[in-house]
Amino acid sequence: MEAIARNNTRRFILFRVLFNARFYYPVFAIIFLDFGITLGQFALLNAIWAATIILAEVPSGALSDLLGRKKLLVMTSSLMVMEMAVWAFAPRGNPSVLFWFLAVNRFLSGLGEASASGSDEALAYESLEDAGREDEWSNVLERTTKYQSVAFMVAMVTGGLVYDPGLVSSVAGWFGLEWEVTKDITLRLPLFLTLATGVLCWINCLGFVDSGDHDERAVPSVGDAFRQTFGAGKWILRTPFALAVIVTGAFADSVVRMFVTLGAEYYRLIQYPEFALGLIGAGMALLNLVVAPMARRMVDQRSPGYVFAVVSVLGAAGFFGVSWFVPYVGLVFMVPLFAAFTIISFSLSFYLNRVTEKKMRATVLSFKGMALNLGYGLAGVLYAALLRYLSSSRGIAAESDELFMVSTGWFGPCFVAGVVMLVVGIRVCGGRGR
């Protein structure tokens, strides 16, 4: 059991590193726009991604509980390879064809996220539990966050640098290569690098070891999956603490994540050049080396209410700060948003793994993932509707920087209003227990 626990926790950390450190993240919003889609289409593509996860999340968790964690993780890494291949080779000539290629990419990405959600955490946590080391889970989460941060830093720096045609041409010239590097080439370099990490992720997943609770030859029926899903859903509704954790986490995550995904556009408008985007992403990733130990201490020593209060203050401060679009200095206001994002993820994993039974753990974690992405998808739809409203009511051009700047001012008030509503709702429903 000790050897399996070591193997699975190490591979869990490596899986999180390879699956999440994607080289296109520093230019996430910009790369979609440079491919030839509009800001509204970008929001809709994110909604497709989230909707796919919502539909596939819980069934994938039920399959993980019934079939085994490893099978779902191998499928996850396979989907990562396919999604990146579709995007990396997507044609740009026809805008309509391009949109559908990117829609397929978002669909495959959503399926991959759904398959991973719950399975990776459940496999690692149960390996520790079987070895009598479940108290080490918060330490594993801290190590995972730190390693992810370092890998994310490398991905941010590399992805941002290879996206700059002038810089890539200069580097090629240093090696005596007479390459004509154009934007059409560098546009795809972050995608090819992520495709390569997808292949490594798949190889890593083949080495996971499932617990002995799953019959490798068993094929669950549709009825089994429905019963598993229904049972886990009923347990969540009857467990106020689990329900409160999922609902508050989904709200805070969706609003913060919506703006974080638009971060590249924000950095550009506070006058940072494209080559600096990777460096900024790297700096935000390194922030987790400080935030992760803080999050571990909070979940170990403080109440969930205290953790949510910290997230609320960080989120409010960040949103109201970014709305000013202060040149260069405005970068400071992204720090509390990234910190809040990390604390949300950390605390959700800690609390739900601790209170959930093994037989339904992946399904419950999938409900958590579904809630997070339902919130994110709703945030994407609402944001797209807000953009349309502001464009029509104020006569702002749909492709203008002004539209993004005006819409950013809505994040802070909406976030604070949501926090107040949640606090009141939880108190009214009596869901204050730890």
* Residue (of 244, 253, 234) closest to 426 by Cα position: 244
Residue at 217 is within a domain: no
> Looking at the domain assignment, is residue 230 inside a domain?
yes
User: What is the model's pLDDT at position 297?
Assistant: 95
Nearest to 366 by CA among 59, 47, 51: 59
Classify residue 141: in a domain, yes or no: yes
Structure tokens at 303: 């109440």
- Per-residue pLDDT, 279: 78
Is 108 a domain residue? yes
Q: Which domain holds residue 413?
A: 2-211+222-429
* CATH number of the domain bearing residue 146: 1.20.1250.20
d(CA 213, CA 135): 21
Number of domains composing the chain? 1
C-alpha to C-alpha distance for 373 and 60, rounded to whole angstroms? 14
Q: Is residue 314 part of a domain?
A: yes
The string of pLDDT tens digits covering residues 287-341 is 899 999 999 999 999 999 999 999 999 999 999 999 999 999 999 999 999 999 9
Task: Please give the pLDDT value at position 217.
Answer: 46
Domain-embedded: residue 310: yes
- List own/partner pairs for 33-38 with CB under 8 A and 24 or more apart: 34/183, 34/187, 35/90, 35/92, 35/98, 35/102, 35/187, 36/92, 36/95, 36/98, 37/95, 37/98, 37/99, 37/102, 38/398, 38/399
pLDDT per residue of the chain (434 residues) written in tens, 0 to 9:
788 999 999 999 999 999 988 999 878 778 888 888 887 788 788 888 878 877 887 788 887 777 778 888 999 999 999 999 999 999 887 888 899 999 999 999 989 988 887 788 889 999 999 888 888 999 999 999 999 889 888 887 888 788 878 777 777 778 776 677 777 788 899 999 999 999 999 999 999 998 655 545 455 555 676 788 889 999 999 999 999 999 999 999 999 999 998 898 899 999 998 778 767 877 887 889 999 999 999 999 999 999 999 999 999 999 999 999 999 999 999 999 999 999 999 999 999 999 998 889 888 988 888 888 788 878 988 998 999 999 999 988 877 899 999 999 999 999 999 999 999 998 887 644 44
Residue 388 CA, chain-centre distance (Å), reads: 26
Question: Is position 84 within any domain?
Answer: yes
Q: Does any domain span residue 434?
A: no
